[in-house]
Structure 1
């Protein structure tokens, strides 16, 4: 098996792999990076590849062998000089970073350099982020720090300014959908989850979550009423949608679903044969696409994106969604 075949990241993100191969071979690695993108875009896979390339004892044509003792330890998650820090619960706390500091101060057991990968770095508490900043500014030894996040905007600007930010191009949606289907996610849901940027574990959880189907049904009813230019859509926000989205994660998810649906409607107006992310609700989306002028679909998608941004600023979901509904309905008058 060739190295290119052995490491899918070389095909998923060839430019980034080549970039880091050059940096490693020239001994030009910075001491801190931020890998920004979804897991499907290869952030954690590239972090692992960097560790493999640095520690492999049998590099061939710039690629780690995957067979030596060093590679096997990394692949099994047991290498003493490649440590991963992940959230313990909902956040990464100060104590987690304090433990990290103690590890950073130790000499590598098998390698001169030590690697610390911090997953979901956007979940650092303010205290933990400030504590980490000190280590980034003054690393205690030959270390490589790799922060991984899907939401870099949530990180402190002071951290962003002190690391090299690597933005990962998104993986093709078709590739993600195929991967999700291979992992057992229902084929009719895979395109939607790929559009949501859901990781395989997240997609599985959503597919198994009994809350998803009612959310999709409520969205279908809301869109159908809007398609008829019916102010019943405004009432549906309170009677059908709000009981389903009492928690902020579900509110965020519902906005995501709404935006994808509105974009599907817009696409259907120009390309009727284009596949939908909601195959089970295709009839409603097709009907709305025929009932709305393109200007309404364009405006609705833009307004939904703006409302979603305000939701991140802790504005109440119900007010935002009712206002969005009123804006769409008012555009018909």
Structure 2
């Protein structure tokens, strides 16, 4: 279970601010929790809800987790707490109107009410305008919590009515520790922690055979790149194009290739402790002897540019073919 104490370690600034607001009775009527996926926004919104409804809070702000209210919130059936999530690709006006109707009613057990809007950036224009009216006329006992990974997509008029709380990206070291605690091998965890900030996603990757095979294909591509362009293009046809299917998978493959290049650079600079392809360290050390830091920097820039063009909807197969030729420019890797 995610606890207040655990998030005081993970997001100390956020939790200190909320603690002080609760203890001083100065909670804002609306919060916008913004930050990358996996930084704990939804968990903290739940903890804040429990702090407000807990009948026996520890030190006045930490939910006890054992009272009737805490248990009902954990099970998702407290009548005065409402969570709105996208219906399909967006949050629609009708969903906000239904929320308003619920809040127009008297609290079932108290005057307090809390609502959380997950992916608030996905509200339609009509939904956002309906919410704006709701935020403009808050009741003293209502707390709104909006969650987003893309603050720039929230209406400025909504932002101006919320207290913005920024959740910092979790360190890879923290995620590695959590992954290992959940049974992921110490050699797999560092790669996964570079690709996601989310524990659940990380655990899924650790058990994904597609992901394990993707790492092998990316390493093979780098190895044949050191030989000649024709062999690398053949490798794309025989391996990459058969394994990587959609834009998301291509993007992950490019991320894995970028990690290979970073590892080579770390090895050249004597920073072996930062290498993430731990199973391939011996082979990477041989590769690092056969290239230069300047060459690696150029190749990393090429991969980053390929990621940008991929997100600009360039044909993925054509993009990879061009990238391979670009990475091979010049007759030597040295």
Please give the TM-score of this superposition, normalised by the length of structure 2: 0.82
Equivalences for residues 26-175 of structure 1 within 5 A: 26-39=25-38, 41-66=39-64, 67-87=66-86, 91-94=89-92, 96-121=95-120, 124=122, 127=124, 130-139=126-135, 141-142=138-139, 143-149=142-148, 151-152=149-150, 155-156=153-154, 158=156, 161-162=159-160, 163-175=162-174
Per the alignment, in what secondary structure is the counterpart of residue 272 of structure 2?
A: coil
Structure 1 runs not aligned, ≥5 long: none
Bigger drift between 57-66 and 174-183 goes to: 57-66
Q: Find the aligned partners of 1:49 and 1:225 in 2 and give their Cα distance.
A: 51
C-alpha deviation, 1:270, in angstroms: 0.9
CA contact (8 A) 2:54 2:70 kept: yes
Question: Hey, what does 2:277 align to over in structure 1?
Answer: 278
CA contact (8 A) 1:42 1:168 kept: yes
CA shift in 2, pair 1:278/1:154, >3 Å: farther
Q: Find the aligned partners of 2:328 and 2:311 in 1 and give their Cα distance.
A: 24
Question: Hey, what does 1:217 align to over in structure 2?
Answer: 216
Question: Hey, what does 1:23 align to over in structure 2?
Answer: 21
Q: Find the aligned partners of 1:325 and 1:154 in 2 and give their Cα distance.
A: 35
- Number of positions where the alignment pairs a residue of Structure 1 with one of Structure 2: 324
1:300-326 C-alpha deviation (Å, 9 max, x unpaired): 223322322332232222233233322
Equivalences for residues 241-256 of structure 1 within 5 A: 241-256=240-255
Q: Find the aligned partners of 1:266 and 1:154 in 2 and give their Cα distance.
A: 35
1:277-322 C-alpha deviation (Å, 9 max, x unpaired): 2223334433332222111222222332232233223222223323
C-alpha deviation, 1:275, in angstroms: 4.5
CA contact (8 A) 2:57 2:63 kept: yes
CA contact (8 A) 1:225 1:231 kept: no
CA shift in 2, pair 1:329/1:15, >3 Å: same
Larger-gyration structure (1/2):
2
1:45-90 C-alpha deviation (Å, 9 max, x unpaired): 221222122223333434324133332322332222222234455x
Per the alignment, in what secondary structure is the counterpart of residue 185 of structure 1?
A: coil
C-alpha deviation, 1:221, in angstroms: 0.9
Equivalences for residues 187-226 of structure 1 within 5 A: 187-226=186-225
CA contact (8 A) 1:33 1:166 kept: yes
Question: Hey, what does 1:267 align to over in structure 2?
Answer: 266
Give the superposed CA RMSD: 3.0
Question: Hey, what does 1:328 align to over in structure 2?
Answer: 327
CA shift in 2, pair 1:312/1:209, >3 Å: same
Equivalences for residues 221-240 of structure 1 within 5 A: 221-228=220-227, 230-240=229-239
Q: Find the aligned partners of 2:31 and 2:4 in 1 and give their Cα distance.
A: 27
1:237-257 C-alpha deviation (Å, 9 max, x unpaired): 333212212223212222222
Per the alignment, in what secondary structure is the counterpart of residue 114 of structure 2?
A: strand
C-alpha deviation, 1:133, in angstroms: 4.3
Q: Find the aligned partners of 1:330 and 1:155 in 2 and give their Cα distance.
A: 40
CA contact (8 A) 1:30 1:144 kept: yes
